[in-house]
Structure 1
Amino acid sequence: MTILVVDDKPVTRLLLQETLGKAGYQVLRTEFAETARQILQETHVDAVIVSWTPSAVSGRELAHWIRQQPLSFGRQLVVIAVGNVSPVIDSPLPVDVFVPWPFNPLELISWLKTLLPNPPS
């Protein structure tokens, strides 16, 4: 299973790559939403973890973009947002799960196992 991590902080991308990799996931990382869009159009990805902070407007925009094209991927992608700002609840969220910052990487693995069919064991 392939997970795309989109975050502007190199240390967060590295932490998630190491943690998810040890759990059996293949991890792709990028800092930029535009690069993430390109990866999603060219590579089979099962889930996306995006940054959801005031400075990460591109993460929110990316989540909305993903939700607007489920047929482009042939399936609905799992989207997990990690951030220090609660999303506005008065409209449908473009994410499956919102994990508050600071987060425990093992919590993300638990969510992936819950949301993805046939996760790595």
Structure 2
Amino acid sequence: MTKILVVDDEPAISTLLKYSLEQNGYQVIVATDGKSAYDLISEQSFDAVLLDLMLPIMDGMTVLKNVRQDKITTPVLLVTAKGDEFDRVFGLELGADDYITKPFSPREVVARLKAVLRRSQTDQVKSKKTDIIEIQNIVIDDDKKIVTRSGDTLTLTPREYELLLYFSQRVGRVIDRETILTAVWGYEFVGESRMVDMHISNLREKIENNPKSPQLLKTVRGFGYTLVN
């Protein structure tokens, strides 16, 4: 169940928010001052925080600042008073994900919260994606710019690496020499397609078990080259 922290010192507002969110299937914890909110965020895992700015003991902006300084990335939806543009802008600069102004309707809060949660989930998926590409016994770590073959590190020239990476991002596609040349070398080399053949030949020497009978980077006669998986 999605767990939300509601931080507001006005019982009427916190009760309304808690009821509305629970009706939409969320688990809700309520804090009524900034210090308690900060302690809860530091100790527990929440999917999102609804944070009022005007709080006793520690104001909402300080809570947000401390949370972000602690490298806690929980999405924060600020609750601000109508017309407090400076607070909204400053809050976004400190790392708030969105804001909502009082007075608000519960439906608006739920809608804004859902949008923040969707963005957060998308970001988490993206962050889990790695820059590692595997094609048969070849592994390309684009973050470290390392290529291995059956576990052994290959020594590629920068151009050979760019060429292999280009093909690895287009597995199964047949690509003609001019397209490869333009993409990897640049427009100033258009017409020098033999350069592609030479580099592919060199690359095959390093990635193929038998360069004379390539099983990875194949020639499609009359069309160009393709990388198969």
Partner Cα distance (1:7, 1:88) in 2: 17
Identity of aligned residues (%): 29
Q: Does 1:80 align with 2:77?
A: yes
Structure-1-length-normalised TM-score = 0.81
Structure-1 residue corresponding to 2:224: none
Report how many residues are paired: 113
Q: Secondary structure at the match of 1:8?
A: coil
- Structure with the greater alpha carbon radius of gyration: 2
- Name the residue aligned to 1:26: 27
3-state SS of the aligned residue for 1:108? Answer: helix
Counterpart-to-counterpart distance in 2, 1:39 and 1:88: 23
**Contact 2:3/2:46 (<8 A) preserved:** yes
CA shift for structure 1 position 113: 1.3
Deviation at 1:63, TM superposition (A): 1.3
Root-mean-square deviation (CA, aligned residues, Å) is 2.1
Q: Which runs of 5+ in 2 are unaligned?
A: 122-229
Question: Cα offset for 1:38?
Answer: 1.7
1:96–1:88 Cα change, 3 Å: closer
8 A contact 1:51–1:59 mirrored in 2? yes
Are 1:89 and 2:86 an aligned pair?
no
C-alpha distance in 1, partners of 2:88/2:26? 30
Alignment partner of 1:107: what SS? helix
Q: Does the CA contact (< 8 Å) of 2:98 and 2:116 recur in 1?
A: no
Written as runs of structure 1 = structure 2, the 5 A alignment for 1:1-121 is 1-53=2-54, 58-70=59-71, 73=72, 76-84=73-81, 85-86=84-85, 87=87, 89=89, 92-117=93-118
Kept after mapping to 1: 8 A contact 2:68/2:94: no
Poorly superposed stretches of 4+, deviation over 2 Å: 88-91
Alignment CA distance shift 1:42-1:88 (3 Å)? closer
Higher relative contact order (CA 8 A, sep 6+): 1
Which ranges in structure 1 are unaligned for 5 or more consecutive residues? none
